[in-house]
Structure 1
Amino acid sequence: MRFGAPRSSSPSPVRGQIRRSTYGLRSRYEDTDSDAFDDSDTSEDSVSSSSSEDDYTSEPEHGLKKSLSKSQRSPEEMRQLEETIASIRLRTRHHDPYEEWEKQTRKEAFMTARKEQSMDISGFHELQERQRMEEAKKLAVQHEREMAAVQVKLNHLRLQQQEEERKLRDDWDLRQKRLWARIEMVIRQEEDKLAKRLADEQKKREEEERKRQEEELKRRLVEEKRRQEEERRRTEEEEKKRAEEEKKKKEEEEERLREEEERQKRERLEAEKQQREHVGLSTAEDDWKAARRNIKNLKSEMASVKANKQLKVEWGKWRRQIKPKIGQLTNDAAAIDRISQELLGIIQPPTGPHHPQIYLAILCSLAKDILLQAEIETTAEKHSAGPLAQVTFNILSTVSDFAEVFFAKLVQRVGGWPIPQIPPNKDFDGREWTDREERIKVMGFRKSGDRDGFESEADFTSRAAGIMRIYFSILKIVPMRGPLRPMFQLPRYWTWFARLLGERALLETVIAAQVMYTALDVMGHDALQIWGAQWVKMLALMYEGVTVGIGADKFIGGTSPEGKAARVRVQLEIERIMSGP
């Protein structure tokens, strides 16, 4: 409770003696409003009040006495002033129970309201969490149903796709068979047409010549005949002169292109010489010289063996055991392993090593028999190259000396095509060829009963393609024991094509197109799996060479009927490789 009426002067001597000032103290209502929600406010307020009272009791009281002593006031004024001070002091010390109860009630109501609010918020959050979990479960069940439906649809589509792929493969195989049959038929028809056209042209020329002679006999006029002769002679001379000029111009252009290519090749080789020597690579000319040097050494060693009767007899005994084993070879893994072990037993008998010359002669005989067998069987049936290549590979991977011997015999049989390289105008030691016949033999042509003494280009092409099929089949086999010599490693396949496409003179021959087709047929698709996009670029160059040309109206394989047929085979083989297995 608050009292506003001033109190009368107290008769108590204590109240009369103690005169305290309460100026500057806070009221109880101000304390109650500001500290209604703090439990410690009451005690602090008491301490503060007591301390404040002491302060205001001590300091202001001395100030008041001092001011009263100085001022001249009447007793009535002094009495009123003391009563006012006593009233203020009483008011500040009054304790109201109702106010205390109201303050405690407000505090408890606030705490109750805050607790209820906290419980409501917690319940609301729990309700939201339950709803969220239910929604998540519903979504998970719905997703599982949709995933199962999608999986069923995907399985159905996968089965449908597999069935379509199988049908497409069957249709593609049937199409390939029909295509190849049609190609072979077209080739035969073109050959028949060419032969017929040549016969018709010959017959037509004979008929024209006969008619011309009859007309000349009918005229019997010397002047007319002379005039015709002069005009014919003049026309022939003009045509001959024009043909010679065109031929000369064409030859000059070809010579210029050849010289430019040779210059670029020399510059490229010179620029790459240091790097090539650093990594141990060799040029085509280096490989050809090494093969020719080995051929010369082998011939010298074989001549010494043949001159020594005892060595010749020993060599003949082992040679007669080699040839039947190569002829008995079949496409059977057990037979291949058995014959390989028997041949290795001949080369390296368990009783002890051969005489060095006998050992070299046996390797030469084995290489020769393998190549002869390749000429006979592989030319007729290309699938027979697999077993023969496997046996050769087994010996190459076991007998280290056989690689150089076999490669030298390979170069001797087909010339520079295993490298590939055009035989230069000089031998490996700088010696000039004695005559044209020696250089033709170095190019790989064999003696025959023809008037020029050598086999035809068609026979040489067929024979070389069969031998080169063995070589490419060996490159296809992955070594299991360790790397072979560089000329029988897989990168040699890429090197072979890179060198061939860089030699225009080689590309214009019939054998180039035929051997190129053989190489693509053996492992063209495998090369695509190995070298990827780089091999596609190589195939693009070959495809351009057989379709568009290599410049100066020249094509890979030349313009002969055999070259055109081989060019078509190369084109179809490239298309087959790019279309997939």
Structure 2
Amino acid sequence: MRFSAPRSESSSPTGRRKARPSIRSGSTFGLPPDSDEDYDQDDSDSESLASSSSSSSDSFCYDSESEVPQPQPVPQRVIQTAEDRFRMEDTMASIRLRVRHKDAYEEWEHQTRREAFISARHEQTRTTSQLRQSQRQTHTKDNSQLIAIHNRQMQEVEAALASFKLAQQTEEQKLREQWRERDQRLWERIENVIKFEENKVRARMEADLKKKLEEERKRKEAEQQQRLAQEKQKAEEEKKRVEEEERQKELKRQEEEREKQAELDRQRAERLKAEEAERKKLGLATAEDDWRRARVMLKKIKDGPMKMVKANKELKSKWSAARREITPKVGQLTDDPQTVNRVSQQIIQIIRPTPAYPLQVYYALLSSLSKAILLQAEAEVTAEKRSAGPLAQLTANLLWNLENFHEVFWAKLVQRTGGWPVPTRVPTKDVDGKDLSQQDRRKIAGWRKDDNQEENIGDHMNRVAGIMRVYTSILFAQTPKPLDSLYRLPRFWTWFARILSEPVLLQSPVAPELIYTALDVGGTQAKEIWGNQWIKLLSVLYDGVTTGINGTSTLIGGTTPEGIAARVRVQLEIEKIMGTSP
């Protein structure tokens, strides 16, 4: 697009005479040159466009170059006035503005061509890349097919070779087996012939030997039978003689024991009779009196309250409900004084509620409470000795809080342990004068049955020792007021004095076990209380477990393994007590 400014006629004649400067010489159309580079560039572009347009127009309008008229020289105008100079400058500014103008459509068309060129280059690149990738994939696929074909052919060849090798090995193995079987059959025939001949010789030799052995056996059997008959006759005669001697000895020993026991009983009776007045004066009781006291109370409870409660449905219901509450309470004890006191108060509230139970129910509950305490001692104290302390303190609390509980507990204690708490031997007659059988005496002595099987000595010792540990701990328990004489501390000395005066009891294996239990509970405290007197008693006990009872060779506990083990424990416990400082 070409722009031009209109020319104005110059009024100066001088300007018409001057020649028009040539475009090639860099004419400025009579204007002073501009120092702005942008304007120079735009002018040169405009001149080139104008030149091109002019050439195109001239060559289009004229037939030949010769017909193109020569341009007339343009005279150089001289601006004489400021108004002409201002008009010229304004014209040039307008030209420059038009030259610098950018057409939006042309710009869009130019940008569109550039973007189309870039898109075309991108499309060509992507198409070329896809083509090359496709060629590479095709080449890779062809190579993979060739490799697979080659591998398959190699496998077929190897399989054929392996098959041929296997067939060859099979054939060789078959031939070897045939040769081995042939050799084996040959050697078997040879060995069978040899064995057959050996068997013939061996059978002949065995038959001869068997015949000789049979003859020898018959001869020896005849001699053996004759000798056995003679020995049997002698053995029977010897057995009869020994049995007769043993029977005579046993009768003599029993007679001596009866005489000795009768003498001891007579002496004991005389001594007790001589001491009766003094005992009554001091309020003391004998071992037989204590055992009779427990036995009488037990019969009263069984024939009285227990019998009436079990016969009355209403009373039995009250008794059963309270008994079910007592048993768990006893099992809740811990080695904590607060827990012991709390459980004691709870049990007292169960047995003495408001309103109170009938007297029969009260005594039945005292019996159940005693049984629960003793069963807990059998089960828990046997396994853990330290649990005897809380259980003994609980029993002591109940003994001075519950009326007549000391009588009921004593009766149940003697029932489950026999005469050991007294201690005394179970008499041959009951308190009512009735003769006791051997089975009844064993039951009264504290022996139990489990599934119709008698309790063995080990279980019996452990069970009685657990109960006696609780009873001994009660003697040392702290109570706000003194308990019955059966549960006071002097009973500890009385128990040892009585058991040492009963040689029959000391020969039982239970005796050293209970002596050890009592010493373990209060031996050291007894030394502090009784001093030298207690040391003398320990000396008598020590002689009984080491040398013999009362100067004899009979040791405490007898000769059973249980008695020997318990006797050693007594010896060690006495040595420990004597080793402690006073």
With the shorter chain as reference, the TM-score category is: 0.5 to 0.7
2:492 aligned counterpart, secondary structure: helix
Q: Residues 501 and 507 of structure 1 are in contact (CA less than 8 Å); yes or no, is this contact kept in structure 2? A: yes
> CA–CA distance in 2 between the matches of 1:432 and 1:229?
45
User: What is the match of residue 192 of structure 2?
Assistant: none
User: What is the match of residue 520 of structure 2?
Assistant: 521
Structure 2 vs 1, CA of residues 413 and 217 (structure 1 numbering), >3 Å: closer, same or farther?
farther
- Structure 1 length normalisation: TM-score? 0.60
Structure 2 vs 1, CA of residues 230 and 495 (structure 1 numbering), >3 Å: closer, same or farther?
same
Amino acid at match of 2:364: A
User: What is the match of residue 392 of structure 2?
Assistant: 389
> CA–CA distance in 1 between the matches of 2:218 and 2:409?
67
Q: 1:499 offset after TM fit, Å?
A: 0.9
Amino acid at match of 1:446: R
Q: How does 1:69-88 map to 2 (within 5 A)?
A: none
- Structure 2 length normalisation: TM-score? 0.60
User: What is the match of residue 449 of structure 1?
Assistant: 451
Q: Residues 474 and 488 of structure 1 are in contact (CA less than 8 Å); yes or no, is this contact kept in structure 2? A: yes
User: What is the match of residue 57 of structure 1?
Assistant: none
Q: How does 1:21-420 map to 2 (within 5 A)?
A: 218=221, 220-300=223-303, 301-349=305-353, 351-420=354-423
User: What is the match of residue 184 of structure 2?
Assistant: none
> CA–CA distance in 1 between the matches of 2:242 and 2:218?
24
Q: Residues 216 and 225 of structure 1 are in contact (CA less than 8 Å); yes or no, is this contact kept in structure 2? A: no
> CA–CA distance in 2 between the matches of 1:267 and 1:555?
27
Q: Which moved more, 1:441-450 or 1:336-345?
A: 441-450
Q: Does 1:458 align with 2:458?
A: yes
Q: Does 1:567 align with 2:570?
A: no
> CA–CA distance in 2 between the matches of 1:494 and 1:365?
30
Structure 2 vs 1, CA of residues 217 and 498 (structure 1 numbering), >3 Å: closer, same or farther?
farther
Q: 1:245 offset after TM fit, Å?
A: 4.0
Q: 1:357 offset after TM fit, Å?
A: 1.2
Based on CA coordinates, which of the two structures has the bigger radius of gyration?
Answer: 2
Structure 2 vs 1, CA of residues 571 and 341 (structure 1 numbering), >3 Å: closer, same or farther?
same
User: What is the match of residue 557 of structure 1?
Assistant: 557
Q: Does 1:430 align with 2:433?
A: yes
Structure 2 vs 1, CA of residues 223 and 547 (structure 1 numbering), >3 Å: closer, same or farther?
same
Q: 1:298 offset after TM fit, Å?
A: 0.8
> CA–CA distance in 2 between the matches of 1:363 and 1:563?
35
> CA–CA distance in 2 between the matches of 1:439 and 1:237?
33
Amino acid at match of 2:369: L
**Percent identity of equivalent pairs:** 48
Structure 2 vs 1, CA of residues 516 and 215 (structure 1 numbering), >3 Å: closer, same or farther?
farther
Q: 1:478 offset after TM fit, Å?
A: 3.5
Amino acid at match of 2:535: V
1:427 aligned counterpart, secondary structure: coil
1:268 aligned counterpart, secondary structure: helix
Amino acid at match of 2:272: L
Q: 1:501 offset after TM fit, Å?
A: 0.8
User: What is the match of residue 43 of structure 1?
Assistant: none
1:403 aligned counterpart, secondary structure: helix
> CA–CA distance in 2 between the matches of 1:376 and 1:331?
17
* Superimposed CA distance per residue, residues 125-172 of structure 1 (whole angstroms, 9 cap, x where no aligned partner): xxxxxxxxxxxxxxxxxxxxxxxxxxxxxxxxxxxxxxxxxxxxxxxx
Q: 1:436 offset after TM fit, Å?
A: 3.2
The size of the alignment, in residue pairs, is 363
Q: 1:445 offset after TM fit, Å?
A: 1.3
Amino acid at match of 1:337: N
Q: 1:363 offset after TM fit, Å?
A: 1.1
> CA–CA distance in 1 between the matches of 2:553 and 2:233?
36
Q: Residues 423 and 442 of structure 1 are in contact (CA less than 8 Å); yes or no, is this contact kept in structure 2? A: yes
Q: 1:222 offset after TM fit, Å?
A: 4.5
Amino acid at match of 1:342: Q
> CA–CA distance in 1 between the matches of 2:222 and 2:256?
47
Q: 1:439 offset after TM fit, Å?
A: 2.2
Q: 1:221 offset after TM fit, Å?
A: 4.7
> CA–CA distance in 1 between the matches of 2:439 and 2:431?
17
> CA–CA distance in 2 between the matches of 1:423 and 1:570?
25
Amino acid at match of 2:471: Y
Q: 1:217 offset after TM fit, Å?
A: 6.8
> CA–CA distance in 1 between the matches of 2:259 and 2:503?
12
* Superimposed CA distance per residue, residues 80-107 of structure 1 (whole angstroms, 9 cap, x where no aligned partner): xxxxxxxxxxxxxxxxxxxxxxxxxxxx
User: What is the match of residue 505 of structure 2?
Assistant: 506
Structure 2 vs 1, CA of residues 252 and 431 (structure 1 numbering), >3 Å: closer, same or farther?
closer
1:220 aligned counterpart, secondary structure: helix
Amino acid at match of 2:321: K
Q: 1:548 offset after TM fit, Å?
A: 1.1
Q: 1:460 offset after TM fit, Å?
A: 1.4
Structure 2 vs 1, CA of residues 226 and 506 (structure 1 numbering), >3 Å: closer, same or farther?
same
* Superimposed CA distance per residue, residues 431-468 of structure 1 (whole angstroms, 9 cap, x where no aligned partner): 222x4332222111122225xx4312221111111001
Amino acid at match of 2:350: I
Amino acid at match of 1:563: G
* Superimposed CA distance per residue, residues 470-518 of structure 1 (whole angstroms, 9 cap, x where no aligned partner): 0000001133x22111100111111111111111111111111111111
> CA–CA distance in 1 between the matches of 2:224 and 2:446?
58
